Amino acid sequence: MENKKIKCSNKDDAEIDAIIFCGACRIYMCNKCEKHHSKLFSTHQVYNLEGQKNEIFTGYCKEPNHLNKLEYFCKDHNTLCCISCISKMVKNGVGLHKDCNICFIEDIIEEKKEKINSNIEYLEEISEVLKDNFGNLNKLSQTITSKKEDLKLNIQKLFTKIRNELNNREDELLLEADKQFDNLYNDKTFEQYKNIQNKIKQSLEKSKNIKFNKDNLVSYINECINIENNIKNINQVNEDFKKCQSDNGDNIKVVYDDKLNSIFENIKLLGKILVFHKDNNLDSVILNNDLNSKELIYNWIKEKINKDLIKFEKIFTMTKNGSSCKDFHNYCDNKGPTLTLVKTTKKKIFGGFTPLNWENKPGFYKYDKNNETFIFSINLMKKYNLINKEKGAIYCNSKNGPNFGGRDFCIDENMRKGDSYANKNSNFLSDNNLELIDEKGDSKKFDVEEFEVFKVIY
């Protein structure tokens, strides 16, 4: 029987834990009662209960209000009993074992001797097993720790590489900024313009002082050329200044292409810690040996339905079981939760999970009150949740295969050729579900190369 915390036998202190048991008085005492008892009965044998991890054995019944010696054994509960425990009268905890198989303690001695010998043998054997297991557990712990550190190191290496690439690109753009602005204005231009007044003054004085001399024509012509070159230089410096004034750098900007926003979004999605489940039996022709995608789908479903273990049972393959809607409904209707996988002729892989039954009936929506239905893209590694439970999760129709949401994607009557499509009017959390089947989000229709349905068991 379950051990109970023993309370003081004094009715006034019945809610206080006992710390002492007196064998002579056959009572349990709290701290307050024990002080009086030790003064009155200093020669009584007492058992200290306080601070014991397990309650000590006193030889008396621990049931409240019994306080009798333990003289009997209950075979049904494998416990010692007192006379009150086996009483036929039931009241205030008395008679708890009245209908049990009871014997005297003396009658169980031989059986317990045999049992303890077999228990010793078992404990010796299990001790060796536990010793080996502890060694294996220690090795396993070291292996797991090593793999964890390797995984973290790989993550750090990847992000260090990304940061290095970003830093290199930053340096390239900073150098390009220097180059472009230096083309407009630099220290040389400033110095040239600062000295332009001196050049003008010198050229003016020379021009006034040049005297035509028939005896020295060469000198005269040389002075004229120098003045003309000075004027040309002055004009060039002035033109540079005008250009610098008119072109003050407003037309120089950092231009990023359309991929910038997607880069920011992809950084948020970059990397995912996958736990590879040994029970993941997703035997997909479409995914083949793509373990990462299998684990991604496994974890997406597991998180949605909040279950620790799920299994997959393939119930339909288009190239094996048929390519008509009738074939789909024959194999997949009323199977409970299902996973759908689609591969297009353009090698786009996507699908959806729903806990709802597919049915072969005239068109009608089914609603997922728990919001567990979702669609996904393997190429983009993205999951799209149902916007809210008021939106149709799936659409059942005898003329369709699986149809998720407001035709977010639909396998139509002719599964193989051209009639299957996705829709921009999404019931799932996505700006444009056409990205499931086309990178640019332009195409609405797709041809099916393969199509699988799995029953999801949990």
- Residues forming beta bridges with residue 197, ordered by sequence position: none
pLDDT digits 0-9 by tens, 17-67 = 888 888 788 788 898 898 889 888 988 888 887 655 445 677 888 776 777
Whether pLDDT at 295 is above 50:
yes
What average pLDDT does this structure show over 192-199? 67
Residue 237 CB contacts under 8 Å (≥ 6 apart), including other chains: 189, 192, 193, 196
Q: Pick the range with the lowest mean pLDDT from 226-235, 330-339, 427-436.
A: 427-436
Query: What angle separates helix 217-246 from helix 187-194, to the nearest 10 degrees?
Result: 130
d(CA 67, CA 87): 14
d(CA 398, CA 419): 15
d(CA 228, CA 404): 83
Question: For the stretch 157-188, what's the b/e string if a residue is b when 16 or more beta carbons lie within 10 angstroms of its beta carbon?
Answer: eeeeeeeeeeeeeeeeeeeeeeeeeeebbeee
Residue bearing the bigger pLDDT, 13 or 55: 13
188 falls in which pLDDT band (50, 70, 90)? low
What average pLDDT does this structure show over 355-378? 92
390 falls in which pLDDT band (50, 70, 90)? confident
Whether pLDDT at 439 is above 80:
no
Measured CA distances, 288 to 96, 119, 225, 322 (Å): 63, 52, 84, 20
pLDDT at 1: 39
Q: Pick the range with the lowest mean pLDDT from 9-18, 69-78, 115-124, 194-203.
A: 194-203
Q: Pick the range with the lowest mean pLDDT from 167-181, 339-353, 412-426.
A: 412-426
Percent of the chain with pLDDT over 70: 80
Residue bearing the bigger pLDDT, 400 or 215: 400
pLDDT at 244: 62
pLDDT at 2: 45
Residue bearing the bigger pLDDT, 39 or 271: 39
Residue bearing the bigger pLDDT, 386 or 315: 315
Please give the structure tokens belonging to residue 131.
């010793």
Starting at the earlier edge strand, list the strands of the sheet with 364-366: 364-366, 394-396, 403-404, 409-410, 420-422, 445-446
Q: Are strands 374-377 and 364-366 parallel, antiparallel or unpaired?
A: unpaired
pLDDT at 99: 92
pLDDT at 297: 94
Taking all residues of the chain, what is their mean pLDDT, rounded to a whole number? 82
pLDDT at 62: 77
Q: Pick the range with the lowest mean pLDDT from 226-235, 379-388, 398-407.
A: 226-235
Whether pLDDT at 272 is above 70:
no
pLDDT at 193: 63
Whether pLDDT at 131 is above 60:
yes
What average pLDDT does this structure show over 426-454? 73
Whether pLDDT at 153 is above 60:
yes
pLDDT at 308: 78
pLDDT at 79: 93
